[in-house]
Chains A and B, each alone.
Chain A
Amino acid sequence: MSDRTREDAALGGAGYRTPDARGYYGPYGGRFVPETVMPALEELERVFDDALTDDAFLEQFGSLLADYVGRPTPLYRARRLAEAVGLGAVWLKREDLAHTGAHKINNTIGQCLLARRMGKPRVIAETGAGQHGVATATAAALLGLECAVFMGSEDIRRQSLNVYKSRLLGAEVVPVEEGARTLAEAVTATLRHWTERVEDTFYVLGSALGPHPYPRVVREFQSVIGRELLAQFDEHGIGTPDAVCACVGGGSNAIGTFHPIVTGLGEGERPLLVGAEAAGEGLDGRHGASLAKGEPGVMHGFMSYLLQDERGNPIEAHSISAGLDYPGIGPEHAYLHDLGLVRYEPVTDEEALVAFELLCRGEGIIPALESSHALALLPRLAVELGSDAVVVLTLSGRGDKDVDIVREAGLGGG
């Protein structure tokens, strides 16, 4: 990419256009997969472009989001939380109130509609926390598709509720017994399975990562979050908040939040955008902070910042939150990071647990541990922006699935 293009992109607004025709976000993204699935990716790209200009498709997607998912999700002013962290106002974008309890459903309904459009009777998905597995099983049940969910056996142990839910919804849950037995291995196993069944199977990828066009597909389906936010800023008389934040594993709720703001608002009218990545036990211990500690590399079909050893092998990530337990990050986040359009900060397990408890007791909302990482940014933002600052936060999901983990960590009196 030319310096000029990069300079334009760095300003945000209309100059920011990604990805390019080959699926790159600056130097990141692309398509690094076995030849067997390349034609399926090319086909997906064509069908997706076609769907985006098809009014009937958009209408069906929109009405399912409204009547089935329950969109738009509310933007709720959390007064006691704001007071507790020392900010002027905190507004929560309540993705936890979407059907199935997280933002994941926005994407799975979109992709399952694409699967039907491509005539594929069967869908597969990887899952970490199990939210994407449940959301895929849900959309598959809704649209009459056969469904298999790949999940690391360690995550199956940590997230038994979502495993059971997926099965209730008619999905097969396939345990993955490789490596650390978490999200990274589940992605690989799903890609591998896809190369065997690519002719009748659609891969519903859950985060804004993987080979092109997936990061763009997921971004477009999740951008409903950011578009609703821009309208809700006006409805609630917020104007432009001082900051907008979200948690980032692969980064789907964050890209859905940030992208419409980056492209819709020019420099000077944009709030500070902050993503929270998992610092696990701390950056000197085991963690999942690929931007803070990773280096560019290729994994799971795309180029991005990656936690890797000196021989180029991915390093096992760690986070108390299964959804952030991933050694890479979506390619567009890597690019937004390099351009300085979004700031990414590491948040430890311990900070996330404190924020988790604060929201439970302060607002009567049990947040997902993933979302708790974003909540943990609030006290820092209060110090940086002052006690009058207005901060908007995407609460990506609810925390029912995490109760066993937080109980183990000693919250709520054990």
Chain B
Amino acid sequence: MAAEGLQRAFRHDRPALVTYLMTGYPDRETSLASVRAAARAGADLIELGVPYGDPLADGKTIRGAGWHALFRGVGLADALELARDFIAAEDDSPPVALMTYYNPMLRMGLDRVAEVAREAGVGGFIVPDLPVDAADEWLAASEGLDTVFLAAPTSTPERLRMVGERSSGFVYCVSALGVTGVRDGIAPGLTALVERVRAATELPVAVGFGIGTPEAAALVGSVADGVIVGSAIVARQDDPDDVERFVASLRGALG
């Protein structure tokens, strides 16, 4: 387990609030201000998105913010730098995970990514296009860092077991089929899905994709160890005060 391991976010006796923000949107300074605002408002874990040119798993909101930052030249190295600056300036920063696609990591070099991430104090990585059975090289390179694999409604029992065993920090449970983005209500069958994931792991189980309001967060929080909110925060990222108010309302809903 990493010294700054992601599991620290789940130490409270209420569901943890995981907030996703896009690096460099609408610009570097404002995105750093939004990360700080989210932390002030009570986020338990910061998930920092990396702009990428082929965002396979993302819906419109995150894609749009990603393209915006991408055209300004923002990439993985910038996200690592932003994480470093954020962590270094806080007395008690919440753990930070990077959410990045795999090719920017390959391009920078897996060993180098891990080294810079450790130096920055990053706790771990979430890589949506790196399924658990394709991750040997990264797991070998990333000692001291957590790697969170995703569990989906379609995952077979055998795959859930692999996800549960090879993840560290927590398991990211995808609430519904499809990509990121706010949806109405919570997915039918979510309770059963979370139970299936829980049975496959000893780690906390956080649920993401589609959660966009305090009400939805409270509902999901009643069945999961953590609630991940992304698109609804990114949509407010041009105004750090708005991010702070919104994250505080999410946090309020989780008790």
Contact = CB atoms under 8 A, between A and B. Distances in A.
Whether chain B is bound by chain A comes out as yes
Given A38-B152, A299-B54, A312-B108, 4 more contacts: A31-B131, A33-B131, A35-B150, A313-B52
Interface string B73-85: 1011100000000
Interface in B127-175: 128-134, 149-156, 159, 163, 174
Contact of A312 (B107, B131, B134): B107
Contacts of B156: 39, 42
A32 interface: yes
A188 B54 contact: yes
A40 B103 contact: no
B75 A312 contact: yes
Given A35-B155, A38-B155, A313-B70, A308 B103 contact: yes
Contacts, number: 120
B41 to A, nearest CB: 29
Nearest to B57: A34
Nearest to A309: B53
22 contacts: A30-B134, A32-B129, A32-B134, A34-B56, A34-B57, A35-B131, A35-B154, A35-B155, A36-B153, A36-B154, A39-B159, A179-B53, A195-B179, A197-B177, A198-B177, A297-B107, A306-B103, A309-B53, A312-B105, A313-B52, A313-B103, A314-B54
B56 A188 contact: yes
| The 9 A-B residue pairs with the shortest CB-CB distance in the complex, in nearest-first order | A312-B107, A313-B53, A311-B75, A196-B178, A312-B104, A36-B152, A312-B103, A35-B150, A35-B152
Contacts of B132: 35
Nearest to A212: B134
A159 B56 CA distance: 25
Q: B52, B73, B154, B179: which has the most chain A beta carbons within 10 Å?
A: B154
A239 B101 CA distance: 49
A215 B174 CA distance: 27
A59 interface: no
A188 B104 CA distance: 17
B116 interface: no
A179 B67 CA distance: 9
A362 interface: no
B178 A195 contact: yes
Nearest to B59: A192
Contacts of B107: 297, 308, 310-312
